[in-house]
Chain A
Amino acid sequence: MVTVDTAVAPTSSTPGQEAGGLTPGRVLAWACLIAIIAITLFPFYWMLRTALSNGTTLATAGTSWLPVDFTWGAFRRVLGLATLEEAQAEGGTGSAVDFWVYLRNSVLVASLITAGQVFFGALAAYAFARMRWPGRDAVFFVLLTALMVPPIFTQLPNFLLMRDLGLINTYAALVLPFFFMTPFAVFFLRQFFLGISREIEEAARLDGAGHVRTFFQLIVPMSWGPITTLALLQYVQAWNEYFWPLLVGSERSVRTLTVALGVFRSQTPQGSLDWPGLMAATLIAALPVLLLFIAFGRKIVDSIGFSGIK
């Protein structure tokens, strides 16, 4: 039987960390850290507290730290589990959130956009980083210039294009303007691809690999970290995209969660809106992205550290 000696000596002997390490500086640092975390998380707590309150009495205790007249009703309404009578009894309206339909739409749209952007962005980045062709730098300059154009300028032409293509209120319209690439994706991956040693590539070339094989079998596996980071960033961005889906995908069948929550927020003019329902829906809508971060967060930190992006 192997025994393990648990009496490990302190690995650090810097003065500040001895004797419990409770120096005023550390206390202050911890206090600041805790304060920042509390400030960051407070809106989520307040959303949860509101989501668990009863809409008909919520405003009677506007400053209460605890849910007012605790109920799960808002979550039941949002998930379509409550009857109309139950919903109205707790401050809901006749309006329902078709949560699962909107969730499906959001997942589908964000996934398609992410897949397209990462794939085509990586191809373009490879062309800009690893291939030599006439006018490359000029084209890259133009591409970077496109980064400076505020997206709002392209919304109307894009909208008219989608209308003329007959694609309004289809998934294609939601996805197409973002699908092929964005300058950011190309720039992000190009910077990383530039850092890959040319010798490895030349070795592959000597072994008879063409560009396609080099890209898929050498560059992509070596860049998995940045590609995942980019995918996650683009997924979150696509998930949160609001204005474009509102313009071209407002019909219920293709409506995304962000648009649905916006529509739900606005009810009768000057009427009472269903705050608990809205907060419950928002919390649930934020969950998928939160789960993605939990799953891939470490990878992002690693890749950012690795690629030297600050």
Chain B
Amino acid sequence: MRRLTVIATAVLVALLPACTVERPPAESGGWDDTGEVTYWMWDANQLPAYQQCATDFEASNPDIDIAIEQVGWDYYWGRMLTSFVANSAPDVFVNHTSKYGDYTSRGLIEPLDELIARDGPDLSQFVEGTGDLWVGDDGKRYGLPKDFDAVGLFYNATMAQDAGITPEQMQNLTWNPQDGGTYEDVLARLSVDVNGVRGDEPGFDPRNVATYGLGITYPPGGGSGQTQWSFLTATLGWSHTEKPLWGTRFNYDDPRFQDTIAWWRSLIDKGYMPPVEQAVGNEPSQLMQAGRVALVTEGSWNISTFAKLGGIELATAPTPIGPRGFRAAMTNSLADSIAAGSPNKGAAWKWVRYLASPECQSVVAQGGVVVPAVASVVPVAEAAIGAQGLDITPFTRHLREGTAFPFPAAHHAADVDSIMEAATERVMGGSADVSSLTAANEEVNALFTQG
């Protein structure tokens, strides 16, 4: 027993110094401009391009090392949270419009206004609107935009040709929540049951469908419906909140929103879209490759993923024109932010500036995955992505034609998403009526009145 006591005492003594170490407060940080800058990102497809940026940056800044870590989207935000709690957050990280409000309200990321005023960059170099997304509701700027995206249609060109649908038709689809317009006609035509009968032909069996016209993702849209339904609701003049950014009153109780969801839901009953459970664990790209769906609505950041799919010929088309005569697409811009607790914010700021520079963004553009936010290199990206075989202009035309609308940045974004994910899932799963979204809306709005 004595020996055990000795061992136990030794362990406790060894742990004692660790117990008395005082943690530095998260908001302290430091302005060193040397050392290792940790940088987190989630998109593995973009990793090689940013790795190249880091190599180039280190060559001209020998006192700074960049350690890039890629963590997939599903883990990214949970890990970010625990890292902030544990004071081990990255110095710089790729931030998302839907998330950064939760960080600014807790003072976890560094405002950049004074730094930008002192060192640049000139904010006019960015694509219009991308920079504005990164001004919080306190008027401070929290990130330098790095890219932008929009939503469009990917469709199986061979299937469309077999169905007698021309590329011209696909470029000029129309939609309304009553009969679905030519958009629904196309989805019906592209749906084929196990007997080879098309959705617009008599005898179509909606319960035994071999190829669905439209794909569905899981979860079906959450609070923003970025790639699922937002491009439809916007054509009715509906918007998520009372103002584009930092709204505090959501509009999920609006008939225009609920009519759109009701129409979208009806596609499942008609056999033009698979039941939502079929989307669990299946990526839209793989469902298309397997021939299970003929058309999906997706973000431009997935163009290279679709372009790489073997054994299938794909094409792109813009979102349909709504009853008011215009088409719409949600656009979003990611940005790089600096953690307020970073011990070497000087070096972090240098890296963030380089990430937003035409030099780094040219490298990213040539990577052919996303369209950079630096306006002068957008054509480089269009060419690089286009060289993979898919036309990117159905996505970028929204910016040229002014039909893009911003991702609805708001506080409590995680809570809004979880409430709306559950609510839309119930509706799409058939266990709740579309009118139940009114109660969900009340729940969402209560987040803002309860503080």
Within 8 A of B (CB), among A262-280: 262-273
- B1 surroundings in chain A (CB, below 8 A): 211
B51 at the interface (CB under 8 A from A): yes
Given contacts A168-B88, A270-B284, contact A262 B44 (CB under 8 A): no
Q: Which of A91, A163, A262 contacts B308 (CB 8 A)?
A: A91
A95 at the interface (CB under 8 A from B): yes
Give B287-331 as 1s and 0s: 1 = Cβ < 8 Å from A's Cβ atoms: 101110000001101100100111110000000000000000000
Across the interface, do A159 and B82 meet the contact criterion of CB distance under 8 Å?
A: yes
Q: Which of A56, A95, A246, A270 contacts B299 (CB 8 A)?
A: A270
A5 at the interface (CB under 8 A from B): no
Within 8 A of B (CB), among A98-157: 123
Within 8 A of A (CB), among B60-108: 69-75, 79, 82-83, 85-88
Q: Measured between alpha carbons, how far is A211 from B47 in the docked complex, in Å?
A: 59
> Which single residue of chain A is at the shortest CB-CB distance from B88?
A168
Q: Measured between alpha carbons, how far is A163 from B74 in the docked complex, in Å?
A: 23
> Which single residue of chain B is at the shortest CB-CB distance from A131?
B1
Within 8 A of B (CB), among A20-71: 54, 56-60, 62, 69
Interface centre among A57, A95, A252, A265 (most CB of B within 10 A): A95
Given contacts A94-B48, A266-B74, contact A272 B298 (CB under 8 A): no
A15 at the interface (CB under 8 A from B): no
- A91 surroundings in chain B (CB, below 8 A): 308
Q: Measured between alpha carbons, how far is A94 from B291 in the docked complex, in Å?
A: 26
Across the interface, do B44 and A93 meet the contact criterion of CB distance under 8 Å?
A: yes
Q: Which of A57, A94, A167, A263 contacts B311 (CB 8 A)?
A: A57
Across the interface, do B51 and A264 meet the contact criterion of CB distance under 8 Å?
A: no
Across the interface, do A247 and B18 meet the contact criterion of CB distance under 8 Å?
A: no
- A268 surroundings in chain B (CB, below 8 A): 42-45, 73, 301-302, 305
Across the interface, do B4 and A123 meet the contact criterion of CB distance under 8 Å?
A: yes
Q: Which of A84, A88, A165, A168 contacts B19 (CB 8 A)?
A: A165
Q: Within the complex, what minimum Cβ distance (angstroms) separates B309 from chain A?
A: 7
Q: Within the complex, what minimum Cβ distance (angstroms) separates B91 from chain A?
A: 14
Number of A-B contacts defined by CB within 8 Å? 128
Given contacts A262-B75, A266-B74, contact A94 B82 (CB under 8 A): no
Q: Measured between alpha carbons, how far is A250 from B301 in the docked complex, in Å?
A: 26
Q: Within the complex, what minimum Cβ distance (angstroms) separates B311 from chain A?
A: 4
Across the interface, do A263 and B305 meet the contact criterion of CB distance under 8 Å?
A: no
Q: Within the complex, what minimum Cβ distance (angstroms) separates A105 from chain B?
A: 15
> Which single residue of chain B is at the shortest CB-CB distance from A169?
B88
B32 at the interface (CB under 8 A from A): no
B46 at the interface (CB under 8 A from A): yes
Across the interface, do B43 and A59 meet the contact criterion of CB distance under 8 Å?
A: no
Q: Which of A59, A166, A250, A264 contacts B79 (CB 8 A)?
A: A250
Across the interface, do A94 and B46 meet the contact criterion of CB distance under 8 Å?
A: yes
A164 at the interface (CB under 8 A from B): yes
B174 at the interface (CB under 8 A from A): no
Q: Measured between alpha carbons, how far is A255 from B279 in the docked complex, in Å?
A: 30
Across the interface, do B44 and A95 meet the contact criterion of CB distance under 8 Å?
A: yes
> Which single residue of chain A is at the shortest CB-CB distance from B367?
A94
> Which single residue of chain B is at the shortest CB-CB distance from A273?
B283
A295 at the interface (CB under 8 A from B): no
> Which single residue of chain B is at the shortest CB-CB distance from A69?
B310
- A263 surroundings in chain B (CB, below 8 A): 71-72, 75
Known: A59-B290, A169-B88. 19 other contacts (CB 8 A): A56-B308, A57-B311, A59-B285, A59-B286, A94-B47, A159-B82, A167-B18, A168-B86, A168-B87, A250-B82, A251-B69, A265-B74, A267-B44, A268-B43, A268-B44, A268-B301, A268-B305, A269-B42, A272-B286
Q: Name A residues whose Cβ lies closer than 8 Å to a Cβ of B.
A: 54, 56-60, 62, 69, 84, 88, 91, 93-95, 123, 159, 162-169, 211-212, 246-248, 250-252, 262-273
A–B complex contacts, Cβ < 8 Å, 12 sampled: A56-B308, A57-B311, A60-B289, A60-B291, A93-B47, A163-B85, A246-B79, A252-B69, A267-B42, A270-B227, A271-B45, A272-B286
